[in-house]
């Protein structure tokens, strides 16, 4: 019996040792796993910061291009340097040779500058809290041209008017939805992802009322902006500018049948607002951003930047 007791004690000791070993292995494994997670998190944060700084630099570069263009050009059209997209560009072409092993050196950058005034500015759907029926009609025409429900124009106009009226309301009142980015329309009834996919490249929200640039706008936007001309006339204007850009509104008027009077507050040949799109890829991580730049004279200002 004493021998059996000794064997039992040895078995218990072995089992205890195995349990302690297993516990130690589990603890060490857990520590290594947590350490790996922390390292990966720190690495992701570093990559994110690198991407943000590179994109910020790209936006500054775009602002410089627009700034230089504003010094020497009184019109804006699709033949100018700012309108040329930046194809995929490896940054190791521009960094020092001793930095080619870094994440930044392996980054790929692409982007484009777009004329924001080539789009219909939906900020104009209301003014001082009152729906602008002329702008509602213009948006209805654009929606119809894009085969979307024209009643969506008044839905947006009423919400924008409500937002404007809130600015003069008493503090503490319920704040309505504000519109800064086009995708903010998704909060309104009827504005589905499919509708936004059709609209996204034709509309914009700008800080103030703006004319459409006839040198950059598409046919659908021109037709919506100028109710007195036909789609054929709008197509003729767009085709004509491909050979020679319009330098003033008088040239636009003379190019149309019967030379109709055109409100200069609705149409122009130059632009003050531009959308800057950028995509940066570092290894397997990517960041896509969009920014709105305002150009006033020879100065440029970044109004907002967001991930898309």
pLDDT digits (tens, 9 = 90+) for 3-61: 555 557 777 777 777 776 776 676 767 666 666 666 555 555 665 666 667 777 788 88
Distance CA 305, CA 52 (A): 11
Judge contact between 291 and 304, C-beta under 8 A. Answer: yes
Confidence of residue 97 (pLDDT cuts 50, 70, 90): very low
Domain boundaries along the sequence of the chain = 39-118+272-307, 120-267
Instruction: Please state, rounded to an integer, the average pLDDT across all residues of the chain.
Output: 84
Top-level CATH class of 39-118+272-307? Answer: alpha beta
> Is the predicted pLDDT of residue 288 greater than 50, yes or no?
yes
DSSP E strands: which ranges in 2-155? Answer: 86-90, 108-115, 120-121, 126-127, 130-131
Place of tokens 């329309």: 185
Q: Residue 45: CB partners within 8 Å, gap ≥ 6?
A: none
- The β-bridge relationship of strands 273-282 and 108-115 is antiparallel
Instruction: Find the range with the poorest average confidence among 28-42, 53-67, 117-131, 141-155.
Output: 28-42
Confidence of residue 297 (pLDDT cuts 50, 70, 90): confident
């Amino acid at each position: 019996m004493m021998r059996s007791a000794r064997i039992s004690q040895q078995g218990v000791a072995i089992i205890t040792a195995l349990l302690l070993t297993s516990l130690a292995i589990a603890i060490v494994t857990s520590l290594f796993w947590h350490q790996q997670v922390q390292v990966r998190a720190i690495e992701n944060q570093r990559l994110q910061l690198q991407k943000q700084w590179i994109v910020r630099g790209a936006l500054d570069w775009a602002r410089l291009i627009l700034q230089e263009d504003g010094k020497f050009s009184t019109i804006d059209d699709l033949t100018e340097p700012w309108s040329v997209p930046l194809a995929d560009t490896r940054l190791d072409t521009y960094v020092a040779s001793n930095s080619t092993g870094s994440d930044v050196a392996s980054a790929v950058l692409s982007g484009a500058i777009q004329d924001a005034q080539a789009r219909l500015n939906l900020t104009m759907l209301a003014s001082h809290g009152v729906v602008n029926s002329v702008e509602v009609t213009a948006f209805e025409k654009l929606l119809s041209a894009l085969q979307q429900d024209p009643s969506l124009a008044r839905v947006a106009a009423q919400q924008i008017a409500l937002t404007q009226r809130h600015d003069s309301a008493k503090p503490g009142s319920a704040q309505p939805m504000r519109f800064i980015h086009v995708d903010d329309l998704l909060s309104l009834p009827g504005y589905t992802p499919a509708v936004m996919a059709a609209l996204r490249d034709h509309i914009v929200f700008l800080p103030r009322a703006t004319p459409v640039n006839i040198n950059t706008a598409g046919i659908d936007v021109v037709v919506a902006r100028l109710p007195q001309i036909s789609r054929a006339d709008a197509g003729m204007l767009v085709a004509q500018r491909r050979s020679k850009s319009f330098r003033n509104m008088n040239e636009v008027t003379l190019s149309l049948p019967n030379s109709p009077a055109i409100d200069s507050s609705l149409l122009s040949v130059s632009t003050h607002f531009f959308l800057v799109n950028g995509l940066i890829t570092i290894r397997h991580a990517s960041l896509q951003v969009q920014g709105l730049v305002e150009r006033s004279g020879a100065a440029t200002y970044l109004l907002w930047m967001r991930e898309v």
